Amino acid sequence: MNSPRCDQRGFLILEIFIAGLILTSSIAAAMYLFKMGFEYLQKANDSNVISSRLPDAVNLIKIIDLEQKSGIESLSDDVTLKWESRLVEKGIPVYQTPEGPIQSLHELYLYKVNLRLDYKTTQREYEINVFKYKTPVSTSSVS
């Protein structure tokens, strides 16, 4: 009679050991999935912060003196804007009228601007074209 009882105890220990291994591996897999989910959620959050600052960056580029060719600006939410500009073309438009050609009072500039927005470990690069104008300084004075 002792022999079936010993076999059952050995079998019970083996069942408990296998159940423990399954439980441990399930917990480890769940912890890994939570960790990965948190990392992806953090990356998505960082991407959203950068996307929310893009309109501010574009508006800032519109008012910056692009003749400086490059610069670094700090935006809100710890986002950093790094930019480089290149003059593509400049000119003074001439309009045709019945009285003859008339030169514009403004000189137009077209810049190609490369932007990079940095936030923590995430960065995004953009390229935009920016039109600017200046009124040339007149050499004649009005009395």
pLDDT at residue 18 is higher than 90: yes
Query: Is 140 contained in some domain?
Result: no
pLDDT score, position 47? 93
Sheet strands side by side (includes 80-91): 70-74, 80-91, 107-119, 122-134
pLDDT score, position 5? 52
Average pLDDT score, the chain = 88
Kindly state the helix (H) or strand (E) to which residue 4 belongs, with its residue range: helix 2-63
Give the residue numbers spanning the domain of 107. 2-134
pLDDT band at 119 (very low <50, low <70, confident <90, very high): very high
pLDDT score, position 10? 67
Query: Is 143 contained in some domain?
Result: no
Query: Is 8 contained in some domain?
Result: yes
pLDDT score, position 143? 38
Mean pLDDT of 103-119: 93
Contact 112, 96 (CB under 8 A): no
Distance CA 74, CA 53 (A): 11
Kindly state the DSSP code that residue 137 receives in the 8-state scheme. Answer: P
Query: Is 111 contained in some domain?
Result: yes
